[in-house]
Amino acid sequence: MEEIVSLAKRRGFVFQSSEIYGGINGFWDFGPVGVELRRKIKDFWWKRIVHDRDDVVGVDTSIIAHPETWKASGHIDCFSDPMVDCKQCKKRFRTDEITEKKCPACGGELTEARQFNLMFQTTVGASHDSGSIAYLRPETCQSIFTQFKNVLSTSRQKIPFGIAQIGKSFRNEITPRNFIFRSREFEQMELEFFIRPTKEEGKRWYEHWRNARLQWFYDMGVKKEKLRLREHSKDELAHYARACVDIEYEFPIGWSELEGIADRSNYDLTQHMKFSRKELSVFDDQLKEKYVPAVVECSVGVDRTFLTLLCDAFDKDVVGGEERIVLRLAPHMAPFQAAVFPLSNKLAEPALSLEHDLRQKFQTEYDDAGSIGKRYRRHDEIGTPFCITYDFQSEEDHQVTIRDRDTTKQERISIDQVKVWLKERLKN
């Protein structure tokens, strides 16, 4: 993990937030290469969940919702972790991190455990009293539930159908840790799929989304042997859930949750009906029946998926007698799909012209900094699958040399065939 963190900073994937001021724990900034990888993840999720389906639509809701939203969802009363403080060094820990009855940092005496609410509190408006208190959302799904009726009426969808959202969430974690795995600000990709509230329908769609979501990770190129499904036992389930499964990945820190798929019954809409006193049930014209829809939820973090791809693709081998680090990302997920190098600055104009032409179809980058060998190493480390060199011979034979990231093999390709060559190898 230390090598991955070092690579992430060195190559512009992830920086510590406010680093020049000493940083702020639990917050991260994504650099030029990192934002490209994040965009690939979000676009791939949105395509699979929304664009490829007839029964899912999207929303983009505000980060701050009416405080009653969080009363109805239970977050204000129940969204907390038990914590303890060290009386000596004043550090704070979650109780599940404590293996002995003393401070793991200094060995000092610990306080009694108490509940710590994980929501970030803020105020709305000019006054600062109890009536102005609001919260940064701890998850993106609740506004999907509160907008359910508006989306249903304007999208012309019918049950079963889903509402998807990608957005920032905030949790005041007691001890953020393991790089970007557990942060205080993070981005979620969530789907709430509304169904008839029967056990049969719940089981059918739960199985459907469990399989579909696991396949999504396979299709990003994540190694199958590094993924597993872990069903929640009955004593783990929330009181409203009929079933829940985690997709887990074997990180360097061990097996940890990537995504949760849950049959949440119709608890959520029922709670919001109760607190808002607004009708959120539907009438089924075919069945001539009125009911409050149940929900199958798929919730995955952009940041954890990002970390998964870094960990899964990270590799070392020996090229030309020297060890290199290489990110073996699936070509369609790489931040840049091809890089164009001029062998000499004298060849900058035709090399730039080629790169500008290729960027109309692919994500490309022009790179003329350092020797060809250093440029290869740089793009190996950010996962660029193909590097294209325009050399002096290119002026005569109208061909370029394309190097494969994984095999390091090179071949000459006619310039007018480069687009076709890349397209064939970048198929999703």
Residue 149 lies in a domain: yes
Q: Estimate to the nearest angstrom the gap between the alpha carbon of 349 and the chain centroid.
A: 38
Distances in Å between the Cα of 369 and the Cα atoms of 129, 157, 340, 349, 373 are: 56, 53, 11, 15, 11
Which pLDDT value is given to residue 349? 97
pTM of the model: 0.91
Q: Is residue 123 part of a domain?
A: no
Statement to judge: residues 297 and 404 lie in one domain: no
- 346 and 306 assigned to the same domain: no
Last residue of a domain, one of 310, 327, 345: 310
Nearest to 260 by CA among 237, 239, 293, 292: 237
403 shares a domain with 347: yes
CA distance 115 to 122: 20
Query: How much is the pLDDT for 428?
Result: 63
Provide the residue range defining the domain that includes 25. Answer: 2-64+138-310
Q: How far is CA 354 from the centre of its chain?
A: 33
Domain co-membership, 181 together with 255: yes
In a domain, 258, yes or no: yes
Domains held by the chain: number: 2
The CATH number covering residue 173 comes to 3.30.930.10
Residues 6+ apart with CB under 8 A from 180: 14, 28, 186, 303, 304, 306, 307
CATH code, 359: 3.40.50.800
Enter the tokens of residue 20.
């020049």
The predicted-structure confidence for 245-301, as pLDDT tens digits, reads as follows 999 999 999 999 999 999 999 999 999 999 999 999 999 888 889 999 999 999 999
pLDDT digits (tens, 9 = 90+) for 215-230: 999 999 999 999 999 9
Segments in the chain below pLDDT 50: none
45 and 165 together in one domain: yes
**Do 340 and 306 share a domain, yes or no?**
no
